[in-house]
Structure 1
Amino acid sequence: MAMLTGLTLYLVIARDLLHTDAGWAQELGILCAIQAYMTGALIAASRRAQINIDWLEQRLEAGRAARLHQAVVAIVVIVVTLFFCYWAWEMLAWNMNRPQVTPALGLPLWIFQISILLCAIGCTGYAIRDLVQAIGFTKETLE
């Protein structure tokens, strides 16, 4: 985040005050931003801190109904994240078949796209974890 802030500050100064081209700073800033967003999404998924509507969840008493609700939510999230994985994979595969680079630094676009795919896979993993916990598969139930 510090690098993103510094690059953005440099970009503003270079363009507005110095009237110079700072395309390289914009490309690196976008790369940092994508990494920060995807890392934040993974951290939120790991902590179950995504934006959600928990009105129904708060009204359900602990027990079977609450676990059923958690399982349904986890299944919906798994389906959505699997679509996200597919779309991210398709985007990455398309770029591998038709390589493109950024204009200023010549960075391959897959560098930007790989973090999106890794985030999608990670979020799917956390959703599967949530489903397993919701349906009650624990070490004790398997023994």
Structure 2
Amino acid sequence: MMVRFFTQLDHKMGLLLNATALISSLLLVGLMLFLVAARYIFGWSIVGLLEMIMVFGMWLYMVGGLIASRKREHLVVDFVQTNIHDARMRRLHQGLVSLITLLITLFFVYLSYRMLKWGMRRPQHTPGLSIPLWVPQSAILFASVGCALYSLRDLIQCALGIFPDDQQTTSDQEVQ
């Protein structure tokens, strides 16, 4: 029952993240094309356009990192893991990596929260459109909280002995 709930929640979160990335990408590319056309074809200088591009770019970058974390496709150094052939030792290694990742992401949550809190107490705005700087900074907090939750998911799955990669590893060993 709980597994189904979390699976459905993960699926819905994936759809939301993908939609956010797609919308941010389209807005980013569209605004960049408009900026180039406005400047070099029409000779217009549109105040604040780069600021809007920066906001969408920040959200796209942070959501992209969160999507990679969700799919376990973020950057990893797997030299040690690929050289561990004992399944129990591999699980212990994955648990240790998950725990370290959780602690680091919790530290980033703390830092990004403090940054956002500071930005709201001492508000600064972009010069053209007066966009509060906490708008792009909130993307950092969003991504750090999401990555912390996904690393917690990985730690729990490791503790329960649930590994999405185990089926692939087992079938790879059977082929050899």
Q: Same fold (TM over 0.5)?
A: yes
Residue 64 of structure 1: CA displacement? 1.3
Partner of 1:76: 100
What is the TM-score when the length of structure 2 is the normalising length? 0.72
Partner of 2:146: 122
Number of equivalences: 138
Amino acid at match of 1:58: T
- Structure 2 residue 112 is matched with structure 1 residue 88: yes
Aligned to 1:43: 67
Amino acid of the residue matched to residue 122 of structure 2? R
* Amino acid paired to 1:81: T
Shift of 1:105: 0.9
Mapping for residues 12-23 of structure 1, pairs under 5 Å: 12-23=36-47
Letter of the aligned partner of 2:128 in structure 1? A
What TM-score does the superposition give when structure 1 sets the normalisation length?
A: 0.87
- Aligned match for 1:135, one of 159, 165, 171: 159
Counterpart AA for 1:31 = V
Deviation at 1:62, TM superposition (A): 5.1
Structure 1 vs Structure 2 CA RMSD: 1.7
Q: Quick one: which amino acid aligns to residue 146 of structure 2?
A: G
Give unmatched runs, 5+ long, in structure 1.
139-143
Q: Higher relative contact order at CA 8 Å, sep ≥6: structure 1 or structure 2?
A: 1
1:58–1:9 Cα change, 3 Å: same
Compute the displacement of 1:20 (Å).
Answer: 3.5
Query: Residue 136 of structure 1 aligns to which amino acid in structure 2?
Result: L
User: Which consecutive unaligned segments of at least 5 residues does structure 2 have?
Assistant: 1-24, 163-176
Give percent identity, aligned residues only.
Answer: 37
Q: Give secondary structure in 2 for the equivalent of 1:57.
A: helix
